[in-house]
Chain A
Amino acid sequence: MSTETRKLDRVVIRFAGDSGDGMQLTGDRFTSEAAAFGNDLATQPNFPAEIRAPQGTLPGVSSFQLHFADYDILTPGDRPDVLVAMNPAALKANVVDLPDGGILIVNTDEFTKRNLTKVGYDANPLEDDSLDKFQVHKVAMATLTIGALEETGLGKKDAERAKNMFALGLLSWMYHRPTEGTERFLREKFAKKPDIAEANVLAFRAGWNYGETTEAFAVTYEVAPAKLNVGTYRQITGNTATAYGIVAAAQRSKLPVVLGTYPITPASDILHELSKHKNFGITTVQAEDEIAGIGIALGASYGGALGVTSTSGPGIALKSETIGLAVMTELPLLVIDVQRGGPSTGLPTKTEQADLLQAMFGRNGESPVPIVAPQSPSDCFDAVLDAARIALQYRTPVLFLSDGAIANGSEPWLIPDVDALPDLSVEFATDPETFQPYSRDPETLARPWAVPGTPGLQHRIGGLEKQDVTGNISYDPENHDRMVRLRQAKIDGIEVPDVEVDDPSGEAKVLVVGWGSSYGPIGAAARRVRKLGLPVAHAHLRHLNPFPKNLGEVLGRYEKVVVPEMNLGQLALLLRAKYLVDAVSYTKVQGLPFKAEELQDVLADVIKGVSA
């Protein structure tokens, strides 16, 4: 029997196993192979909050979904075309997402009575007809891996651990992926343990050879490289892009960066990454708590550095008072919030975009703060640079709202020309003759940044209300009213680009408005409904405060405005309040990104309603 090769335009693969099975690494390697091959891609890891949940249980299932295609794609995919299940728990947790006819590759070695019972299977699903609607491939991955490594002298347990590389090898064969990168990666990763490196390479090759020689697989697949814009690409996650954006902000502002932070999921990787780049003048301080983290950042900003703090929603709650102090003292400060499911501890490893109103209003008093939200992993780089621009130019704390989906998801990134990045240089106040701590730039309304050490500019700032211009303490009623309005006017006047509307036909009567990480699913859904002949316009907001100046006019152009959000309608609330628009709010808070499919249905219904 010869193997047939079919051409596909896109494939979604999900690797699922126990959290100790190395699924994230497996997915990551397949991603690198796809990237090296030139596909467009998007990924979405999904892992438990527990570091090691009990082995073989449903809470311990970890998965990695990868979407790769021969055209530009926007999401990690709604459902897998291929599910690799390393144990019964992984099968049970993920098989519901596999469409009929989907490919299911199962590691049979883990389907023991004990493991089946652990997750509530009364009968072995591999032995009854419950999986008949799928193309099931039963592979004894552990046994085959151990067999392949027999001659290495490695113990059974160690050998068995390489079974994820067996799976990767098999999938790499099925999809005609290049293999050199993975072999090189394994040798580098385990450079200090050459026997483990060799074992993993052998397991990887065994998986490949299994596909090629057993004839169990009748079909292999090809996904051609995508036609992307010309340039040099790399794969990048949102948290890495955020960290790189901060490094770029340091370079382009010629300021040192001080990151004051406290570890929290899913933001910690920003600290990990930045702590590696001290050569760019970046100091990272792991503080005693969230409050100290932002205090350190603000103190550094007061001293003339770019102060940055990174956290997730619970940390923002703790930092609120210091954000208020930064509003009052009008100092630059970058506050990174990688949102996760809430309230309280919530769902630490799952995504949500429910901190918008916290960012907008979560402080005492009238305390306006600009808000910038990236729309994809690679967009974090540009968006955080823009957040730094606003902080530095307007002397204000800026909230940057990333989320778990963006932070851990990855995609190809067209690496920018660093010389073309925006100039963020700032001028400190130096002239004692004209200096007033709370005088304002007539255009930006920013106050002077007068750093300690500047002769003749000694002055005092703080959280008490300031007298306009002099900055002295003032309890004067008129002055307070004026200062409240000035602080608001400064934020309202921040220059942000107009929002762009994507409406290829120009005939849309329905506008879908989103913000943050829902860009991918909304964009993909819009493409789908357009293919059905239903025109729809898509506008995606990077700037949530202030809104782009043309937003009111854009909203007014359409008969219906739909606002999908991973919260209970926070942006919709703001749009309704500010623009009196009867926005249709579509919401879901399952800790997972939207599926393009569900948004397609939502949009189609609204569009049909308008047309009728």
Chain B
Amino acid sequence: MTAIDLGIPGLTGVPTTDEKQTARDYKSDQEVRWCPGCGDYIVLNTVQSFLPSLGLKRENIVFVSGIGCSSRFPYYMNTYGMHSIHGRAPAIATGLAVARPDLSVWVVTGDGDALSIGGNHLIHTLRRNVNLKILLFNNRIYGLTKGQYSPTSEEGKVTKSTPLGSLDHPFNPVSLALGAEASFVGRALDSDKAGLTSVLRQAAEHRGSALVEIYQNCPIFNDGAFDVLKDADEASRRIINVVDGEPIRFGREGEYCVVRDGFGLAVAKSADVDASDVVIHDASDLNLSFALSRLSTQDLSHTVTGVFRRADRPTYDDSARAQVNEAKAAKAADLSKLLHGKDTWTVVG
């Protein structure tokens, strides 16, 4: 297998092509069967539009999913794909990534798949830093099973399984991923094509696990969950988009900013603080990234988007391959010698 170094760490070893690709090349011949108006359509289109820009051979891209509405995603991609079982996509993708350095492996999952039944695999994949890109479609509801609350649903949420309101305290997926010391964590909205594309690109370029939380609307069971972030006026007061190395300001005219507050961060009016007190985003700073994640509140009064964290550390799959390669270089694969071991005896006729 040929491997051309693109100079992009996340894609090192994945063969490229000079052939011009378009979004159409990434559409499979299968009819897309999400509900009309589902946010998944927009994410699918964004991914299909974005992938050609990476210039990879399509056959070296693999999408692995679990179970849930979003997990139908691989069927619609004209790449290799596996629609696996509930919650286990990160484990299966880990095996694939360990076995094959020449593949760009993507995991598509949802809030139930990744954070409930598959929570264990998610945190361990992130801590190991396997070279996988994990797209977590968060619609804060169970769609495929028709409307039960999920691990990201708000406390008190009335659903089919919680007629008196949910008692569960929800996960903040970004905080969870950072707690597992994920080396890359980002967040975007399904409807924000430019923002999502930017996060996806940085995720693809990052070597190691990249978790991208995508707020995604379920028009059937949780319609409008993120509407306050889609209204231009509301969004300007709520969305805090962070860019590495830049001061964190938001609002139409940058009238709001983020400042330090004790061990954490707080939102302030830019007019009320000295410019030097505005926090400058440093994606390599785990504590800062975590503090940023805590600014996102369940009622969406503030929502941080962009790339929270991007840090270099060895990936599990690279290290596992290195161990194998070093062992191969150090010791010939002599099966007969292995089978004989140290203590043998010979019976003669």
B59:A36 contact, CB within 8 angstroms: no
Encode contact with B along A278-306: 1 for CB under 8 Å, 0 otherwise: 11111101011101110111111111110
User: Per DSSP, are chain A's interface residues mostly helix, strand or loop, or mixed?
Assistant: mixed
Residues of B contacting A473 in the complex (Cβ-Cβ under 8 angstroms)? 30, 75
B121:A288 contact, CB within 8 angstroms: yes
User: Which residues of A are at the interface with B, using a C-beta cutoff of 8 A?
Assistant: 32, 35-36, 38, 181, 228-235, 244, 247-248, 251, 256, 258, 260, 277-283, 285, 287-289, 291-293, 295-305, 307, 321-322, 324-325, 329, 415-418, 452-464, 472-473
A455:B95 contact, CB within 8 angstroms: no
Q: Which of B146-154, B253-261, B325-333 contacts A (4 or more CB under 8 A)?
A: B325-333
Residues of B contacting A287 in the complex (Cβ-Cβ under 8 angstroms)? 91, 124
A295:B92 contact, CB within 8 angstroms: yes
CB-contact partner of B339 in A304, A415, A463, under 8 A: A415
B343:A35 contact, CB within 8 angstroms: yes
Q: Which residue of B lies closest to A252 (CB)?
A: B335
Q: In chain B, residues 56-102, which have Cβ atoms closer than 8 Å to a Cβ of chain A?
A: 57-60, 62, 64-65, 67, 74-75, 77-85, 88, 91-100, 102
Q: Give the 6 A-B CB pairs with smallest separation, nearest first.
A: A299-B95, A462-B83, A295-B91, A296-B95, A278-B327, A299-B92
A455:B91 contact, CB within 8 angstroms: no
B121:A325 contact, CB within 8 angstroms: no
B333:A279 contact, CB within 8 angstroms: yes
Output the least CB separation between A286 and chain B (Å): 11
A251:B333 contact, CB within 8 angstroms: yes
Q: Which residue of B lies closest to A457 (CB)?
A: B59
Interface hub of A291, A300, A458 (most chain B Cβ within 10 A): A458
Q: In chain B, residues 98-135, which have Cβ atoms closer than 8 Å to a Cβ of chain A?
A: 98-100, 102-103, 120-121, 124
> Is B338 located at the chain interface by the 8 A CB criterion?
yes
B343:A277 contact, CB within 8 angstroms: no
B78:A458 contact, CB within 8 angstroms: yes
Bound-state Cα–Cα, A324 to B88, Å = 13
Residues of A contacting B64 in the complex (Cβ-Cβ under 8 angstroms)? 299
B30:A232 contact, CB within 8 angstroms: no
Residues of A contacting B349 in the complex (Cβ-Cβ under 8 angstroms)? 230
Bound-state Cα–Cα, A282 to B60, Å = 23
Output the least CB separation between A585 and chain B (Å): 36
> Is B164 located at the chain interface by the 8 A CB criterion?
no
Interface hub of B75, B82, B341 (most chain A Cβ within 10 A): B82
Contact A300:B99 (CB < 8 A) given known A38-B347, A459-B80: yes
Residues of A contacting B297 in the complex (Cβ-Cβ under 8 angstroms)? none
A453:B60 contact, CB within 8 angstroms: yes
Output the least CB separation between A296 and chain B (Å): 4
> Is B344 located at the chain interface by the 8 A CB criterion?
yes
Residues of A contacting B120 in the complex (Cβ-Cβ under 8 angstroms)? 288-289, 292
A sample of 9 cross-chain residue pairs with beta-carbon separation below 8 angstroms, ordered by A number, consists of A35-B345, A234-B340, A248-B339, A258-B95, A285-B95, A302-B92, A415-B336, A453-B1, A455-B59
Output the least CB separation between B332 and chain A (Å): 7
A292:B343 contact, CB within 8 angstroms: no
Residues of A contacting B88 in the complex (Cβ-Cβ under 8 angstroms)? 291-292, 295, 321-322
CB-contact partner of B94 in A295, A417, A452, A459, under 8 A: A295
Q: Which residue of B lies closest to A245 (CB)?
A: B339
A279:B331 contact, CB within 8 angstroms: yes
Contact A461:B339 (CB < 8 A) given known A258-B99, A288-B121: no
Bound-state Cα–Cα, A32 to B343, Å = 8
Output the least CB separation between A121 and chain B (Å): 40
Bound-state Cα–Cα, A260 to B128, Å = 14
Residues of A contacting B324 in the complex (Cβ-Cβ under 8 angstroms)? 256, 278-279, 281-283
B95:A228 contact, CB within 8 angstroms: no
Bound-state Cα–Cα, A296 to B317, Å = 12
> Is B320 located at the chain interface by the 8 A CB criterion?
yes
CB-contact partner of A288 in B85, B93, B103, B124, under 8 A: B124
Output the least CB separation between B255 and chain A (Å): 45
Contact A461:B99 (CB < 8 A) given known A38-B347, A279-B330: no
Bound-state Cα–Cα, A395 to B93, Å = 19
Residues of A contacting B320 in the complex (Cβ-Cβ under 8 angstroms)? 283, 285
Interface hub of A303, A321, A415, A473 (most chain B Cβ within 10 A): A303
B335:A280 contact, CB within 8 angstroms: yes
Residues of B contacting A293 in the complex (Cβ-Cβ under 8 angstroms)? 91
B59:A415 contact, CB within 8 angstroms: no
Residues of A contacting B91 in the complex (Cβ-Cβ under 8 angstroms)? 260, 287, 291-293, 295-296, 299
Contact A460:B83 (CB < 8 A) given known A280-B335, A299-B96: yes
Output the least CB separation between B326 and chain A (Å): 8
B328:A460 contact, CB within 8 angstroms: no
> Is B346 located at the chain interface by the 8 A CB criterion?
yes
Interface hub of A280, A322, A324, A415 (most chain B Cβ within 10 A): A280
Residues of B contacting A285 in the complex (Cβ-Cβ under 8 angstroms)? 94-95, 98, 320
B82:A453 contact, CB within 8 angstroms: no
Residues of A contacting B100 in the complex (Cβ-Cβ under 8 angstroms)? 303-304, 452-453
> Is B28 located at the chain interface by the 8 A CB criterion?
yes
Q: Which residue of B lies closest to A450 (CB)?
A: B80
> Is B162 located at the chain interface by the 8 A CB criterion?
no
Interface hub of A299, A300, A329, A416 (most chain B Cβ within 10 A): A299
Bound-state Cα–Cα, A35 to B340, Å = 14
Bound-state Cα–Cα, A279 to B329, Å = 8
**Known contacts A32-B343, A38-B347, then 11 further A-B pairs from the complex at CB < 8 Å, ordered by chain A residue:** A232-B347, A277-B338, A283-B320, A283-B323, A285-B320, A288-B121, A292-B121, A298-B92, A325-B85, A415-B336, A456-B59
Bound-state Cα–Cα, A464 to B75, Å = 11
Interface hub of B1, B84, B324 (most chain A Cβ within 10 A): B84
Bound-state Cα–Cα, A143 to B348, Å = 44
Contact A462:B346 (CB < 8 A) given known A282-B324, A288-B121, A296-B91: no
Output the least CB separation between A62 and chain B (Å): 23
